[in-house]
Amino acid sequence: MTRAVVPASRVIPGFGMTLGVTVTYVGLVVLLPLVAVAVHAWQLSVADFWRVVTAPRVMAAYRLSFGAALFSASVSVAFGLLVAWVLVRYEFFGRQLLDALVDLPFALPTAVAGISLAAIYAPNGWIGAILQPLGWRVAFTPVGIVVALVFIGFPFVVRTTQPVLAALAKELEEAATTLGASRWQIFQRIIFPCLIPALLTGFSLAFARAVGEYGSVIFIAGNLPFVSEIVPLVIVTKLEQFDQAGATAVAVTMLMMAFLILLGIHGIQWHLRRTLQMK
């Protein structure tokens, strides 16, 4: 006796209505503002648009914003994985407090975070005073931007990796141990492949947050053109100069670049998940 196959679209009751509400919500909240930005940008001619988005000052800001975002997201992956590992695999006094502190950058206003980091890493700050005699400067340099972006980005990696790490079956590790595998081999061949999709998700979230971050960066960056000026500051500067078309042109270009990078990351993530399912 054969079983009837239920169409996928009818598994969830009210699929049509829920899909309509979802598309409407995403359209109003996400797509409509983006379309409005694009419309303002196209007030410029193609030549003027290209001149604005390829200006030397804007190009320097692009390189700094995207370079710092990619580097800080990579650092967040390394330290986020370490923090998630400690929280999941070890029991120690203060573990719940440490777990709660991970979420602090989510709740802390970005301006407060920027002021705090600038005060700590300034030449007369707690850490800056130690680094200054060594010739190392953090505050008011691109290094300070990376520090601020790591601060706001690493919780994304922790929260995406932590549940996956907690759900891993320890029986696989025990079986590998009985077969003579070392700890590094167990991590490399059993644990890490399962964590790659979650790490990529955390990386993409940290990158997306970092590339558009403003409040926590401007206080520690120094905001010098061609040195430590980020794209959001360029946009704000153009708006203050009543150059709305130029600001939206830079914003649209930044949006397209960020979207393409995130699309590539999600493509890699989809390919890895498919590969793991096939195995």
Residue 6 in domain: no
Q: Which residue has the tokens 């397209």?
A: 256
Q: Same domain, yes or no, for 201 and 255?
A: yes
Enclosing domain of residue 192: 45-278
Average pLDDT per run of 10 along the chain, which is 279 residues long? 51 70 80 74 82 92 93 93 91 89 86 88 87 86 92 92 87 82 84 87 90 88 87 89 87 87 83 70
How many structural domains does the chain have? 2
Q: Indicate the pTM of the whole model.
A: 0.83
Q: Same domain, yes or no, for 28 and 66?
A: no
Residue 184 in domain: yes
Q: Which tokens in the block code for residue 106?
A: 């989510």
Q: What is the CATH number of the domain that holds 198?
A: 1.10.3720.10
Cα distance between residue 134 and residue 4, in whole Å: 74
Q: Same domain, yes or no, for 38 and 77?
A: no
Q: Same domain, yes or no, for 109 and 203?
A: yes
72 with 146: CB under 8 angstroms? yes
* CB neighbour class for 39 (10 Å; exposed up to 12, middle 13-18, buried from 19): exposed
Q: Same domain, yes or no, for 190 and 138?
A: yes
Q: Same domain, yes or no, for 49 and 135?
A: yes
